[in-house]
Amino acid sequence: MESRPIISLNNLSVFQKNKLVLTNVNLDVNVGEFIYMIGKTGSGKSSLMQILYADLPVESGEAEVCGYDIKSIKQKNLPYLRRKLGIVFQDFQLLDDRSIKKNLEFVLKATGWKDKGEIDNRILEVLDEVELIEKLNAMPHQLSGGEQQRIAIARALLNEPEVLLADEPTGNLDPETSNGIMKILFKLSEIGKTVIMATHNYNLIHKFPGRVVKCEEGTVV
C-alpha cells in the first residue's frame, strides 16, 4: 500500500472555549495506519478529534484531512468531509426507539442515500463486517454493550469512510468484549482504512500494537 498522509497537522494550536489546549502539534498519519492517541483526561485528545472532523475551528496552524483544508473548509463541504470520516464514541449513541436496521437506515437517508435496494444492501454489508447480521431487526436495548459498540462501528462504516475516529470505543466494555472490538478495528486498518483511537487502556496497546501518539504538557509527541 502506498504510504501517503491522509491527515497532516502542522504547527497546529487547539483551542477549546478560548482556552489553549494543545500547541505546536505536528503529525502526519498515513493511509491504513493504526494510531493510538493517549494522554490524561483533559490533555486534549477529544479536542484534537474534534478538529479532525471540523467540529472545532482551526485558529492557528494547518490541518488537512482527507484532502480538505480544515482551516478554510466551507460549510457546504462539511458533509463531504464527514462522509470520509467514520466516528465511534464511547457511549454508542444509538437511537433507542428504533431497530438496528432503522438506526442504520436513518444515517444513510440523512447522508443522501435514496435507493431502497442500495440502502438495504449497504446495511447488510456493514452488519456483515461486524458479524451481527442476525441483529438486523433487534432493538438496541436487546443487545449487549459489546454488540451495541459493534453496531456503532457498523454505523460509522456506512459511507465507506477513509478514516475511522474512535474516541474511547472500549471505555465501557469488559476486556474480552474490548478484544473483539479491537479485532474488528484492526481488520479495518488491514484493508486500508486509517484508524485513530483515543484510549486509556494501555493493555490493548500491548496486545494490538500500533503507532502511539501522546497528548501531554500541551502538545503531541
| Residues 141, 10 contacting (CB under 8 angstroms) | no
pLDDT tens figures, 114-171 = 999 999 999 999 999 999 999 999 999 999 999 999 999 999 999 999 999 999 999 8
> What's the Cα-to-Cα distance from 19 to each of 26, 42, 47, 51, rounded to whole Å?
19, 12, 11, 14
User: Residue 194: which H helix or E strand, with range?
Assistant: strand 194-198
Cell numbers 493504526 correspond to what residue?
Answer: 34
Amino acid at residue number 193: K
CA distance 51 to 53: 6
Residues 62-88: tens digit of each pLDDT: 999 999 999 999 999 998 898 899 999
C-alpha cell at 53: 472532523
Q: Is the dihedral of CA 112, 139, 181, 171 positive or negative?
A: positive
